[in-house]
Amino acid sequence: MLNWIIIVLALVLSAFFSGMEIAFVTSNKLKLEIATKKDSFNSKVLALITKNSSQYISTMLVGNNLVNVIYSIFLAKVLAAPLAPLNNELLILLLQTVIATVIVLFVAEFLPKTLFRILSDSALTTFAVPVAFFYFLFYPVVVVSVWIARLITRIFGVKIDDHQKDNMFSKVDIEDIIGNGTELSTSAKSSQELKIFQNAMDFSSIKLRECIVPRNKILAVPVNESVENVRKMFVETGHSNLLIYKENVDDIIGYVNIKDIFKNPQKLRNIMRQILVVPETMSAKKLFGRLIKNNRSIAVVVDEFGSTCGIVTVEDILEEIFGEFEDEHDSPELSVVVNKDGNYIMSGLLDVETFNEEYGYSLTESDEYETIAGYIMYFSGNFPKMGEIVTIMDNDVSYRFRILEIKGTKIVKVMLYAE
């Protein structure tokens, strides 16, 4: 009876070691990495035992070989009596080998490997603690075995870099998650998240020509343009940056930010910022890194002949991943909300003429600006700060605006106090 208990236990352990080996090999390495970051005991144990893949695999192999030897010895004892009448040692040994092999192949190889291959990710987390027990139990044997294996490989001229990190996950692993996510969820939010994930994967292959603002849409001024005219252009267009060129747009030498223009500079050169010039063949990923490193938000893209093809901003690159952002060129929500105190809360891009017509105000309309934000900057002569109250005297009427929201160089929301 004891022999049978040992045989069954050995088969169960053999199946366990075989299954956990194939579970690790076939697991989605991205899911595995995510699982190890969770704040649970099993996750911490999993992170420990999967840190070194060769150590993990060696542990499973050592354990499997050990229990298979035990299984073979005790099965031979059990089969000795039934096969004794054959009176042929060679035939008895052959039958014992065949029977033992068939049983172990089906029970401890084919069946567990098929099952654990399907449930690889969950199996690794569920059985992390038992694996850790054998991981440390066989640790001395595994260390010696790995050392001998590396010694032999070096003898044959094969070098193994002990400091090389395991490739934790590949693009295939990510695509697998995306594919499964698409099948499991059809919500708009999930679909958008999966699209962002897919775009992020393809980010390294995106060229600048795919996210460029073309030459004919570039807004630029000559370096000798007056500061006053440039200030008016900012107010009229709503742009946050204007390019500066020397002779023509093929000779762009920098750009001016809207915040700097209200510092009352004498010349554009005094506030002009340097601009990156990059070839159109550069990848968007590489340019994004350079822009962040150099603390810049815009770059000029040129062709092989040095002619300006267009410009690319950080926002343009990010839109390739996250989709379109609302900026000064988009159509925002321009509704006006009147609060309980009678004050008007509105978008900075609301048209002055529209506001006057709908709410009976007489804010001065001018060709110098179109929006409420432009009106505030024109009369105040500077770019306001978040929370600042701007008082404007317009035709002997005092208007007080509170700046409620600013995004970068854009006045997003303001409040006009009731008269």
Q: What is the DSSP string of 18-77?
A: HHHHHHHHHS-HHHHHHHHTSSSHHHHHHHHHTSSHHHHHHHHHHHHHHHHHHHHHHHHH
Q: Do residue 245 and residue 351 come from a single domain? A: no
Write phi, then psi, for 299 (nearest 5 degrees). -145, 150
Q: How many residues belong to the chain?
A: 419
Same domain, 363 and 244: no
Give yes or no: residues 401 and 268 share one domain: no
- For residue 182, the model assigns a pLDDT of 42
Which residues form the domain of 89? 2-155
pLDDT at 6: 92
Last residue of a domain, one of 94, 124, 155: 155
- pLDDT at residue 9 in the model: 94
- Give domain status of residue 331, yes or no: no
CA of residue 285 relative to chain centroid, distance: 12
DSSP letter string over 154-207?
Answer: HHTT----TTPPP----HHHHHHHHHHHHHH---HHHHHHHHHHHHHHTGGG-B
CA-CA distance, 30 to 120, in Å (whole number)? 13
353 and 223 within one domain:
no
- Main-chain dihedrals φ then ψ at residue 171, nearest 5 degrees: -60, -35
Query: Has residue 328 been placed in a domain?
Result: no
Q: Take residue 35 and report the two structure tokens written for it.
A: 């699982």
What CATH number does residue 218 fall under?
A: 3.10.580.10
pLDDT category at 337 given cuts 50, 70, 90 is confident
Is 361 contained in some domain?
Answer: yes
Residue 19 in contact with residue 115, Cβ under 8 Å? yes
Identify the band that residue 205 occupies on the pLDDT scale cut at 50, 70 and 90: low
The span from the CA of 374 to the CA of 233, in Å, is 10
Whether residues 180 and 109 fall in one domain:
no
Model confidence at 183, in pLDDT bands (50, 70, 90)?
very low
Asked if the structure places residue 165 within a domain, the reply is no
Looking at the structure, do residues 7 and 133 belong to the same domain, yes or no?
A: yes
Per-residue model confidence as pLDDT tens digits over 12-42: 999 999 999 998 888 877 677 767 777 778 7
Number of domains in the chain: 4
User: Phi and psi dihedrals of 333, rounded to 5?
Assistant: -75, 115
Is 223 found in the same domain as 195? no
Q: Is residue 163 part of a domain?
A: no
Do 194 and 314 fall into the same domain? no
Residue 166 belongs to a domain: no
